[in-house]
Structure 1
Amino acid sequence: MSIKYWPLKRGFMITSPFGQRAGGFHAGTDFGWEGGSANLPVHAVKGGTVIYAGAASGYGGPDPAGWIVIDHPTEDGGGVSEYGHIIREVQVGQRVEAGQRIGRINPDSRTNGGVAPHLHLSVMPYEYNPSRKLDPVPWLDGALYPGEDPPRPAPVPASGLTAEVLSQAMGGSVPIERYRELLPGFVNAMIAAQCTTVERAAMWCAQIGHESAGLRYMEEIASGAAYNGRADLGNTQPGDGPRFKGSGPIQLTGRHNFRKFSEWCHAQGWVDSPRYFEDRPQLVREDPKWGFLAATWYWVVARPNINTMADARDLVGVTRAINGGTNGLADRQLRYKRCLELGAALLPKAGDAPMSAQEVQEIKDFIVEFCGPIGSDTKDVRQQLTGGRDAGEYPGWEQLGFRTVTDAIAQVLLNQVAIAERLEALEKGKNDDVR
């Protein structure tokens, strides 16, 4: 599933459906346009790689007329799509994206049995296998039309996920106190994974809930010794198996993945070394903050199309991306249904995303830049008025006899008092002489 598009622009019509018809079984669906379909643009229904293109039996030729066949990997929702009676605009081996223009309907009716120009679309659930063709219309249920943008994630609400709701989502596998302990790291990782819609949050909770048995396990139960010597995991040093065994709720495994996770966290500014967790693998198991962020890395970096599949509610596709197969699908389905029913209560609170070291430094730099001159001026004024905090730090004004302003004013006041006393004494002596 993933992001899906109809092959023609909005307003098309189905000229011949999938199924039995006069002359045999029609293993596909014909799409056309009222008033004529010649040269109408054709679009890829999903992202994938072109595996066949050009002239083909039953679809005409010569190249570039004929057909296009696209293989859709798991990340794009899986399956194969076949487009016939078209003129290709892509080539074998080329990567195409969902909704991308890939050709146009061939205007030459001689290529399709003499009927009006149209697109013949076939789909297959897994690999290219003409004997397993499906009806494309239900396969494309909920698809966008070419030119339409996928829906954007909704703003994160101010309410926020609570430990009680997290416990419900996870099936209450651990005491509520443990969910309260895990909640901050869980929420931070959700936001970092952009799981801020009901569809994404439900998929995140269902998949992580299954992989960790409701957040009961933050590391693989086995010792990890079986991973020793696994070069495919980057385990090239003695003891790498246990050292880099499955860690975090979806079990980051192998020196290679710990290094990639470290590099990603370093790029975000969250750690100070691109080998941080390669040197400290136990943190991914022991600190929920890092364990959950390891799941985020897998979700958005190692398998970057998971959120796209989550938007389409493609539980099977996400399961294949995480598990490599469909192990535990029944449990994942139950968890996913429960999480969808929780709805917006699963969504994290706005503003809970972790700040990176770079963001913290930017705030500090702003404060220093804004307040630095003010602070410097304040210090100068203080020194001029009262002197420095330490003796001898500020010698005072030369014009004031190397006194501070406060000391100079005090001296003026003392001098005034002395003058007043002197005048008073002189005045008294004058009066005594008169007598």
Structure 2
Amino acid sequence: MTWLKLTEKELFLMEGGTNQFLEKVTVVPNPSGSPNEFQIDLTEVKKWMTRGNPPVPGSMAIEWQTGVPATTKFVPPTPTLGVDASRFTEDIVKQIFFDAPRGNIRKYLPKVLHYLETVGLGDREAILMALATIRAETAGFEPISEFISRFNTSPGEHPFALYDFRDDLGNGAFGDGARFKGRGFIQLTGKFNYNKFSKRIYGDDRLVQVPDLANDPDVAAKLLAEFLKDAELPPLPPNRKNWWRGTVTTRDFEKARKSVNGGTHGINNFINAFEKGEELVP
């Protein structure tokens, strides 16, 4: 649920249940009107209300040709996909994620494919890489938060304490581990990555301020796409040691998995999903 907040200076698209905004549009006085009249760039507001996954309730959708509220519930259009992406249908992906709820695939697959295409990863190999990564990170095909485990929490310590002062994650304080634990389809982890990819998709530190946004389906799909793009080819960013584009071609799946995870966690699920996808989408 999201909501709109209007001030004399800005119109905000707010995150439901918080006082954090997702996007904003500047409001300026109307030079030819009364002191109480303002102008808003409706282009951005239109995007909020009519984009593929409208963040505002359907009842607030606007018929922009007539300028009046839509009389029926707004049904978002299905994103137009390229030739390769169109081959990865719900039925195909369900066979890869055989134990995931079909409803999750129906709900999230179009977003994943759409955002992969927006960063130039709409080809078969890249989609297989993305699906295999999701399979390794969240087998249920949904954005989730990292669970407590022996890899992030020592016996008797507070949750995710092992992450608190991890320099490689950019964490440096008590509580950073829990605050910046893994989230989303990619399991984005660490303050460094939250800050880096927040600036990439928002242009500010919004994900650092509200880390749970990484589990928003659209944000999670964007993060998956941007993270994979970041590790696609050398030269790599300073915190990346491996790249995946060439390694999946040469079947070096361990290196491909390390390009995202840093290790080989979930490697069997990764390989099985990639090879099953190859079989289903030759």
Q: Tell me if both proteins adopt one fold, taking TM over 0.5 as the criterion.
A: yes
1:320 to 258, 268, 271: 258
Do the aligned residues in 2 keep the contact of 1:249 with 1:292 (CA within 8 Å)?
yes
Does 2:269 align with 1:308? no
Mapped partners of 2:255, 2:178: distance in 1: 30
Q: Any unmatched runs of 5+ in structure 2?
A: 1-81, 149-158, 234-242
Alignment of 1:54-203 (within 5 A): 156-157=83-84, 159=86, 161-173=88-100, 175-203=101-129
Does 2:269 align with 1:331? yes
Q: After TM superposition, give the deviation of residue 338 of structure 1 in Å.
A: 0.7
Mapped partners of 1:191, 1:309: distance in 2: 21
Describe the superposition over 1:377-411 as per-residue Cα deviations: whole angstroms up to 9, x where unpaired: xxxxxxxxxxxxxxxxxxxxxxxxxxxxxxxxxxx
Q: After TM superposition, give the deviation of residue 288 of structure 1 in Å.
A: 1.4
Mapped partners of 2:163, 2:263: distance in 1: 20
Describe the superposition over 1:336-395 as per-residue Cα deviations: whole angstroms up to 9, x where unpaired: 211101216xxxxxxxxxxxxxxxxxxxxxxxxxxxxxxxxxxxxxxxxxxxxxxxxxxx
Aligned-pair Cα RMSD in Å: 2.5
Mapped partners of 1:245, 1:200: distance in 2: 26
Q: After TM superposition, give the deviation of residue 298 of structure 1 in Å.
A: 2.0
Mapped partners of 1:205, 1:159: distance in 2: 14
Alignment of 1:269-284 (within 5 A): 271=202, 273-284=203-214
Which residue of the partner structure matches residue 220 of structure 2?
291
CA 1:336–1:179: 2 relative to 1, 3 Å: same
Q: After TM superposition, give the deviation of residue 172 of structure 1 in Å.
A: 3.2
Mapped partners of 2:90, 2:160: distance in 1: 31
Q: After TM superposition, give the deviation of residue 238 of structure 1 in Å.
A: 4.0
Mapped partners of 1:188, 1:275: distance in 2: 24
CA 1:302–1:237: 2 relative to 1, 3 Å: farther
Do the aligned residues in 1 keep the contact of 2:244 with 2:259 (CA within 8 Å)?
yes
Does 2:172 align with 1:246? no
| Aligned AA (1:310) | V
Do the aligned residues in 2 keep the contact of 1:185 with 1:289 (CA within 8 Å)?
yes
| Aligned AA (2:224) | A
Mapped partners of 2:191, 2:108: distance in 1: 25
Which residue of the partner structure matches residue 205 of structure 1?
131
Mapped partners of 1:200, 1:157: distance in 2: 10
TM-score, with structure 2 as normaliser: 0.56
- Identity, in percent, stands at 30
SS of match in other structure, 2:107: helix
CA 1:303–1:157: 2 relative to 1, 3 Å: closer
Does 2:150 align with 1:220? no
- Alignment: residue pair count: 182
Describe the superposition over 1:115-161 as per-residue Cα deviations: whole angstroms up to 9, x where unpaired: xxxxxxxxxxxxxxxxxxxxxxxxxxxxxxxxxxxxxxxx6358453
Q: After TM superposition, give the deviation of residue 291 of structure 1 in Å.
A: 1.3
SS of match in other structure, 1:213: coil
Q: After TM superposition, give the deviation of residue 197 of structure 1 in Å.
A: 2.6
Do the aligned residues in 2 keep the contact of 1:219 with 1:251 (CA within 8 Å)?
yes
Do the aligned residues in 2 keep the contact of 1:218 with 1:291 (CA within 8 Å)?
no
Q: After TM superposition, give the deviation of residue 259 of structure 1 in Å.
A: 0.5
Q: After TM superposition, give the deviation of residue 299 of structure 1 in Å.
A: 1.2
Q: After TM superposition, give the deviation of residue 216 of structure 1 in Å.
A: 5.0
CA 1:237–1:325: 2 relative to 1, 3 Å: closer
Mapped partners of 1:278, 1:160: distance in 2: 36
Mapped partners of 1:161, 1:322: distance in 2: 22
Q: After TM superposition, give the deviation of residue 253 of structure 1 in Å.
A: 0.8
Which residue of the partner structure matches residue 170 of structure 2?
234
Q: Any unmatched runs of 5+ in structure 1?
A: 1-154, 266-270, 345-435
Mapped partners of 1:232, 1:309: distance in 2: 23
| Aligned AA (1:239) | G
SS of match in other structure, 1:167: helix
Alignment of 1:39-54 (within 5 A): none
Describe the superposition over 1:30-75 as per-residue Cα deviations: whole angstroms up to 9, x where unpaired: xxxxxxxxxxxxxxxxxxxxxxxxxxxxxxxxxxxxxxxxxxxxxx
Which residue of the partner structure matches residue 264 of structure 1?
200
